[in-house]
Structure 1
Amino acid sequence: MINLSGQLIVTRPARSLDIRWHSLAETARLCWQEARPVVQVAFLLRFAVGAVCAAQPPQSPGRPVLGLASLWCAVVCAYLLNGVTDVQEDRVNGSWRPIARGDLPERTAARATVLLACAALLLGGLAGPGVVAWTAAFLGLGWAYSAEPVKAKCSSGRCALVVCGLGLTAYGAGVAASGGGWTATGALVAGVMSAWMALVGAVAKDLGDVSGDAAGGRRTVAVVRGPAAARALAVAGALAVGTAAPTLALLWAEPALAAAVPVALGAVWVVVRVLRGARREHAGRAERRGAYRAFMVTQYAANLAVLTVPFVLRATG
């Protein structure tokens, strides 16, 4: 384009800008998808349960909203990092997540984790010192799960410890964002659900990923001792948590039965799915992951029950 004085003016076509924004939006969508939306929602539910069960309800929505956003950024960061470090295993296991299928470059995802970690800490700082401390702990555990030197995902024992910590930090961030302290109910729910993650979810997940875990050099129970040993461990964990949850609730904090009852029922479901998978020696990956799906549905049901049962009782009482 030439103006009236004869100077050449270079203008950027609007279409070029539109393409750039579309590319950025698509990258954000792929990062969100890689970070497992179902898991993201589960962690946000844990945060909400922590806030609801705190000794003092939130006085205003500002801190809880900032805290929730902070934890969400931390969760996406942790699971995006896991996707970056799990490419080989995911491809062997037949995963269709964006990095494994080649739609999201590993370098792009790695850069996104840095931005997400910074955003998580900034939002946590705005929400308060307690929230930023829990968020920082979550980020540290997320790094320890996937990356050197800990690389907890490679060992069933280390994995259980880190996964338990991830659960507790999510509940703790919710408590901190409320401005109150822990209650007996909140502590019991957080402990039971974190144990459910560590003793059941962390083991059940491995049942569907044995080939990829072995290819990636992991030393999980399913790889070292075989699927039968992992199934036995998953059954033992489910029965232990499923029995302890209602017992402790009755002895210590009856309102925690809102979570304990779904966990007890879910434990039976997990055992059934594990035994069903054991009978089908050549079952496909979807069948082998049946116990993990039962674990996931159970934790959704338990956390949602804690959030909804008090309101239902109040409305009908």
Structure 2
Amino acid sequence: MSSAVHPSRAALASCASRVGLAFLEGRPVVLGVFALRFIVGTLLVGGADWSSPRLSLAAASWLLAVWAVYLINGISDLEGDRLNGSSRPIAVGRLDVRSASAIAAILLALSLLCASLLPRAFLGAVVAFVCFGLAYSVGPWAAKKAAIAALLVAAAGVFLTYLSAALVAAGTVPASALVFATVASCWIAVAGHTKDFGDVAGDAAEGRRTLPVMLGVERARILVAAGTGIVSATAMALGAVVHQLRALLVLGVAGPVVIALTLLVEGTDRRRAKRPYRSFMAGQYALNVAALLNALES
């Protein structure tokens, strides 16, 4: 009896370990901000009823799709991540590609199964999001290989997250929610380029046309700082004028921080070069937490 039980326990533990590593590969910090975006999207329409199983099912479907998309991205980034010295599970060999691929397929199947129980518009949004993710990561013309295309696809995925959450919550999207989603997506499309400053060597070796690779690091820093300033100033103006958009004031504060780190952080050390990106991510979290608090107060 014990000889039959112990191998099954070992197999279960091994499976759980792979799922845990796949979760790490899916980037918990990104999954967390997508969860916040979805919650905020439901609250932007006012009066979202989170006691309804429909919203919980929709959130589960969306986050499973996000996890799968980022896991697929980790698989596709294997060589570049190794060249850049990444510590992600696939890059360091703790999670094999075959297991990661199987888990990604299961996640996608579960996501689509959940979405199929919801209105067709939401199912279509999930399919569209997955297509954006595949377009970003997979194939010879993957968007990740070109700086502008990569961030446009990422921004579209963020916009779709807010929009889909609002639709499943209320069946409609007010103008203020559309403006919020647009500005939040522009933050991704512009300030998101900070992620490339720590990966120049690997990106160049893989033939990716990121801004630092195409323009050189210094010119790329200036361009990203200028674009971030424009988005930040726009967010500040809208937040100051429109009560429903007060949360956008956060980007007015976060913008100068991202700009300062983008322009001042120098050197080739990857950890230091990632500081602008970490400030960009902190800005995303702060924006969505502020929007959440603003919605709860209203």
The Cα offsets for residues 145-170 of structure 1, whole Å up to 9 and x where unpaired, read as 00115300110111121011110111
Q: Is the 8 A contact 1:249 1:257 kept in 2?
A: yes
Task: Determine whether 1:273 maps to 2:258.
Answer: no
Task: Determine whether 1:225 maps to 2:210.
Answer: no
Q: Mapping of 1:216-295 within 5 angstroms?
A: 216-251=206-241, 253-258=242-247, 260-277=248-265, 280=266, 282-295=267-280
**TM-score, length basis structure 2:** 0.95
Q: Specify the code of the residue in structure 2 equivalent to 1:264.
A: G
Question: Which structure 2 residue ranges, 5 or more long, are not aligned?
Answer: none
Q: Mapping of 1:15-164 within 5 angstroms?
A: 15-54=6-45, 57-58=48-49, 60-164=51-155
- The Cα of 1:135 is off from its aligned counterpart by 1.0
Q: Specify the code of the residue in structure 2 equivalent to 1:244.
A: T
Q: Specify the code of the residue in structure 1 equivalent to 2:83.
A: V
Q: Mapping of 1:165-244 within 5 angstroms?
A: 165-201=156-192, 203-244=193-234
Task: Determine whether 1:302 maps to 2:287.
Answer: yes
Identity of aligned residues (%): 34
Q: Specify the code of the residue in structure 1 equivalent to 2:271.
A: A
In proportion to residue count, which structure has more helix?
2
Question: Which structure 1 residue ranges, 5 or more long, are not aligned?
Answer: 2-10
Q: Is the 8 A contact 1:55 1:183 kept in 2?
A: no
Q: Distance in 1 between matches of 2:50 and 2:216?
A: 52
Q: Is the 8 A contact 1:40 1:76 kept in 2?
A: yes
Q: Distance in 2 between matches of 1:271 and 1:246?
A: 15
Number of equivalenced pairs:
298
Q: Is the 8 A contact 1:56 1:180 kept in 2?
A: no
Moved more, 119-128 or 23-32: 119-128
Q: Is the 8 A contact 2:46 2:295 kept in 1?
A: no
Q: Is the 8 A contact 2:236 2:252 kept in 1?
A: yes
- The Cα of 1:12 is off from its aligned counterpart by 5.6
Moved more, 229-238 or 295-304: 229-238
**TM-score, length basis structure 1:** 0.90
